[in-house]
Chain A
Amino acid sequence: MGMLWWRSCVAKSMLSPASPKSGLKNFLLQRYRRWLNRRLPPARTIVLEQRRLFIFPTRQGFLFALTLLIMLLTAINYQNNLAYGLTFWLAMLFIVAIHFTHANLLKLEITGVRAESVYPGQHAEFCFRISCSRSRQGYRAVKLVWPGSEVLVDVPAGGEIDVSLHHKVTARGWFSPPRLRIESTYPLGLLRCWSFAYFDVRALVWPQPIRVERLAFSSAGKAGYDLSEQEGLDDLMGFRDYRIGDAPRLIDWRSHARGLPLQTKLYSSLVDEDNWLDWQDFPAGTVEQKLSWLCWLLLQHHSRGENFGLRLPELELPVAAGDRQRDRALRALALHDLNGESAG
């Protein structure tokens, strides 16, 4: 118990946001973060053990204490034993509430299940699974908080529940979510029990697609190709069975209306062996710009159901089509030239 309080005090005192100007504060904040990281290392699954939990009265808790003080003064001044009794009863209720609030997070198990890949500027969805291994008592009103996103859940005894939180992402590459705060004031709202957790779950952030009008320069000396829509598609080569992921405008709706199964139209460009998206095609532009252009182009290819291959300085994706190809290409672009990260 004593440890609990001490820890909560330390945590509280170090929680205040530090201004970047103050060197000492910054230093302390860094120390605190390092301490917290050591104390609460990132993991896939986190069980909220005793040592991870902090507890401290809420604002309402202090107001309650003030009420009790007034009640005690009333009891003393009126020498009223029943008023004493009620005051002590409520004061001890507060002690009981410490245990109940603490127990409402203790042994809670959280697993970072998966994260959605997104483009910069979007909100990545992180999915967590919260489970309760206790057989008698579930968890109630548990709040998971990120800056800008929070979720309140109840977990039944012996059960589990999936929740998702969103976080805005800005830069290409792997996005590691910030420290998640898990807290609860249940049952009385007089105390807040909380814990922090880093999860070993990352979201892949693809490059921002940027429309590119025409490939002005081509390393192979070929004429640059323009995939803008007004150009239309090349000659119709034939049909094949519809596959999930084929662009709607490549589907032969006319035959489908006649009652035939879905067919996808094949154009000559789709089988063009030269559908390579090549890093070398863009001698000008920054790395990010090139990635963004390639990204836009590959999405164009994919939306039309075309085959494409990708050549980056460090790897080459053979020509293929479909969602899988798109995802591999996007991943390669997202992780291009990020030190320490492999495209694997």
Chain B
Amino acid sequence: MISGEQLPRRSLLWLIVCQIAVMLPHLQRIPLWVVAVYLAAAIWRLQMFRQRAEMPGKWLRLLLGLSGATLLFMSYGTFIGLEPMVALLLVAAALKLLEAIRERDGYLLVFLGFFICVTHFIFTQTLPATLYSLVCTGLLVTALIALNQSPGVGLSNHEPLLALKMLALAVPMMVVLFFLFPRIGPIWSVPSKSGQSITGMSDFLRPGAVTKLGRSAEIAFRAGFVGVIPENSALYWRGLVMSQFEQGAWRTLQWHEMPEVERKPIPPRVLAEPMRYRVVMEPTQQRWLYGMAYAESPTAGVYEATDYRLGVINPIEFQFGYEVSSWPKALMQPNLSDWRRRLETDFPEGLNPLTEAWVKDLREQHADDRNFIAALLSYFRAQPFYYTLEPPEILSADFVDKFMFESRRGFCEHYAYSFVAMLRMADIPARIVAGYQGGEVNPLNNTVVVRQFDAHAWAEVWLVGEGWTRIDPTAAVAPSRVEFGFEAAMDGQPGFLSDSLLSAYRFRGIRALDWVRLRYDVLAFGWQSFIVGFDSTRQIELLKGWFGEIKVSWFVALLLGSWAAVLLPLMLWLNRQRSVSLMLPEEQRFSALCRRLEQRGCSRALGEAPLQTLRRARDHLPEADPLYLALEGAIADLYRR
């Protein structure tokens, strides 16, 4: 074969379209100059195509490559990591486009395009991203077909249609492979995503930390319930349990900070049937999960901490799904160890002198823990405290003093912070729990969609005989927050959803849109939990459900079956011989007579004129043979035509 054939001109247009299409979804995570390089390369190549520009010389190309790499290093400071690698791939593809002269450059660009599509999936696996990648794949296959068209074939819809057809035919076998291919763990460790700015809960709590989440309608997670969804006021999704107060902020106690004996969680005794649900979380880059107390998860990789929260070893970089069973009535830690009691009642003295004096006073009136808590809550209720998304900023160390006696305007974390601090001053074990509260119920698939603005902080108090008990001071100030959700409490307030101006959620309440939104959410949840969240556990479950046992022979049979079901009929159809003859009726008659002539031992030579055939037939056949006469007539008809 002659190597180094020229890139067909027509396929170049498809290649440029593909390259831009596969680059677009990466826009949000690459430096802008990469886009500029891309467009410049595409325009230059188009000018070359129109013969208005020369291909850059070898040295210039080398220089471009080197400066691209240098710029990348300057932008990221490293080549290790997913984003720099993707950017490197994109720059390489752009420069390759510039020097795509030969046919094999075209192939290389297409294969590079496939790989860029895969890198996109590492960042996001949502339904829209998938659909977009389907389009990209179609374009890339189209470019591949255009590369193989013979020259002189004009632009037509043939290539995209054929690409679609071939891709569609590959789907059944792909589905079989997808569900049956064994899911094994990572073979080696791979560069992970760098800490992108993800909206979400942080691992410490200081005033103002949750407030900023109130401005975003991004989805935090979805929970699909097996049974009845509890009331909104019971939907407390515990994420972090913060027992440690340090430098004006609350944080979770680290594992290594605990004494040896405290490290092992003691699961409570559970008797009743649990609530069962599956949570599919959006990536958070954090190591904790959400669940309603008391929660257990059978999903591999999920562990339980001593403070009854769920966690994972590695940060959640991709959508992550896990099963949860919750027992709301279970007693969490009915017996408190001395160490834990000390930990949960520890609050620095002298920081908030006013509050300390006031708490001491109140504690003398209410020696009983429950009475004291009730008094504290009624104080919140009675005094002019406001629940607001835009509280005045308090930066001084005596936050509780300032909040309780001066501003009295705050968001959930302000209340939780002050409440827990005051309980600890009164020597009652208490801690802050950060998570989400409520969520939008989608009745179509029995799920709860929890968004960032559902972020919430509340308190857990340890009571004799009840263990850790949830008490939400915010509910005392703004009962509607807990009863009807954040949205109902905040609607119309300045700042609400100010970070999600274009979110579909802003337009909630419009019936047609809600209809679409809820249905889309059903799809998205199904996608996330069934396709994206498909793992070896679910695979084994699925295969056992279908076949009872897992056998390699089943795998082979299914794959061959899916092949035979689709491709065999297609090939038969494609290769069907022409059923309608293209010959004229006169021609048909003549060739039929020629066949008879051949049986008589006088075959018609290739390319022979009919009259010549007739002449030879006359020599060959006896005088006035009917076949000869018929032939004569047929030829006469043929010429008359």
Q: Is B104 an interface residue (CB 8 A)?
A: yes
| B576 CB-CB contact with A under 8 Å | yes
Is residue A227 contacting chain B, with contact meaning CB distance below 8 A? no
8 Å CB contacts to A: which residues of B15-61?
A: none
| B104 contacts A60, C-beta separation under 8 Å | yes
User: B575–A92 contact, CB under 8 A?
Assistant: no
- Chain A 105-128 residues near chain B, CB threshold 8 A: 106-107, 111, 113-114
Where chain B touches its partner, the secondary structure class is: helix
A225 at the interface (CB under 8 A from B): no
List of A residues within 8 angstroms of B118 by Cβ: 71, 74-75, 80, 83, 86-87
Residue B316 CB within 8 A of the other chain: no
A61 to chain B, nearest CB (A): 10
B567 touches A96 (CB 8 A): yes
Per the 8 Å Cβ criterion, residues 105-150 of B in contact with A are 107-108, 111, 114-115, 117-119, 121-122, 125, 130, 133, 137, 141, 144-145, 147-150
B611 at the interface (CB under 8 A from A): no
Q: Give chain B's interface residue range (CB within 8 Å of chain A).
A: 35 or more
Which residues in window 399-423 of B have CB below 8 A to A?
A: none
The listed residue (B178, B186, B577) touching A88 by CB distance below 8 A is B178
- CB-based contact B111/A64 at 8 Å: yes
- Asked if B386 is at the interface (CB within 8 A of a chain A CB), the reply is no
- Residues facing B in A133-150 (CB within 8 A) are 133-137, 140-141, 150
Expressed in whole angstroms, the minimum distance between the Cβ of A48 and any Cβ of chain B is 11
B114, B147, B183, B563: which contacts A71 (Cβ < 8 A)? Answer: B114
Q: Which of B108, B150, B167 contacts A93 (CB 8 A)?
A: B167
Q: Give chain B residues whose Cβ lies under 8 Å from the Cβ of A95.
A: 170, 173, 563, 567
CA distance A53 to B501 in the complex (A): 62
Contact, CB under 8 Å: A76 / B184: yes
Would B149 and A141 count as touching, CB distance under 8 A? yes
> A111 vs B607: C-alpha distance in the bound complex, in angstroms?
11
In the bound complex, how far is the Cα of B576 from the Cα of A12, in angstroms?
A: 30
Smallest CB gap from B531: residue in A = A81
The segment out of A181-189, A235-243, A270-278 that lies at the interface is A181-189
Q: Does A152 sit at the interface, judged by CB under 8 A? A: yes
In the bound complex, how far is the Cα of B133 from the Cα of A78, in angstroms? 18
- Chain A residues with CB below 8 A from B119, complex form: 74
Interface residues of B in 146-166 (CB under 8 A from A): 147-151, 153, 162, 166
List B contacts of A114 (CB < 8 A): 607
B563 to chain A: closest CB distance in Å? 7
B395 at the interface (CB under 8 A from A): no
Q: Kindly specify which of B265-273, B451-459, B578-586 makes contact with the partner chain.
A: B578-586
Q: B606 an interface residue at 8 Å Cβ cutoff?
A: yes
Quick one: given A89-B174, A93-B170, A96-B166, are A134 and B148 in contact (CB under 8 Å)? no
Check: B312 CB closer than 8 A to any chain A CB. no
Is B574 part of the contact surface with A, judged by Cβ < 8 Å? yes
Chain B: minimal CB distance from A128 (Å): 13
Nearest A residue to B113, CB-CB = A67
B535 sits at the interface (CB 8 A): yes
CB-CB contacts below 8 Å: B553-582 with A: 563, 567, 570-571, 573-580, 582
A16 within 8 A of partner (CB):
no
A82 touches B130 (CB 8 A): yes
In this assembly, does A44 line the interface, its C-beta being within 8 Å of a C-beta of chain B? yes
Question: Is A81's CB under 8 angstroms from B532's CB?
Answer: yes
Check if B149 sits within 8 Å of A140, measured CB to CB. yes
Partner of B578, one of A60, A79, A86, A135: A135
Chain B min CB distance to A137 (Å):
5
With contacts A63-B107, A92-B173, A188-B141 taken as known, whether A84 is within 8 angstroms of B178 at the C-beta atoms is yes
**A63, A96, A189: which contacts B148 (Cβ < 8 A)?**
A189
The closest CB in chain B to the CB of A201 belongs to B606
* B181 CB-CB contact with A under 8 Å: yes
Contact among A67, A81, A85, A190 for B115, CB-based, below 8 A: A67
* B339 close to chain A: CB less than 8 A: no
Nearest 8 pairs of A and B residues by beta carbon = A92-B170, A135-B578, A88-B177, A92-B173, A141-B150, A82-B121, A67-B111, A89-B174
- B interface residue numbers (CB < 8 A to A): 2, 104, 107-108, 111, 114-115, 117-119, 121-122, 125, 130, 133, 137, 141, 144-145, 147-151, 153, 162, 166-167, 169-171, 173-174, 177-178, 181, 183-190, 318, 531-535, 563, 567, 570-571, 573-580, 582, 606-607
19 contacts between A and B (CB under 8 A): A44-B606, A60-B107, A63-B107, A71-B114, A71-B118, A76-B184, A77-B186, A79-B318, A81-B178, A81-B531, A82-B121, A82-B125, A83-B121, A89-B167, A89-B171, A96-B567, A100-B166, A187-B144, A189-B147
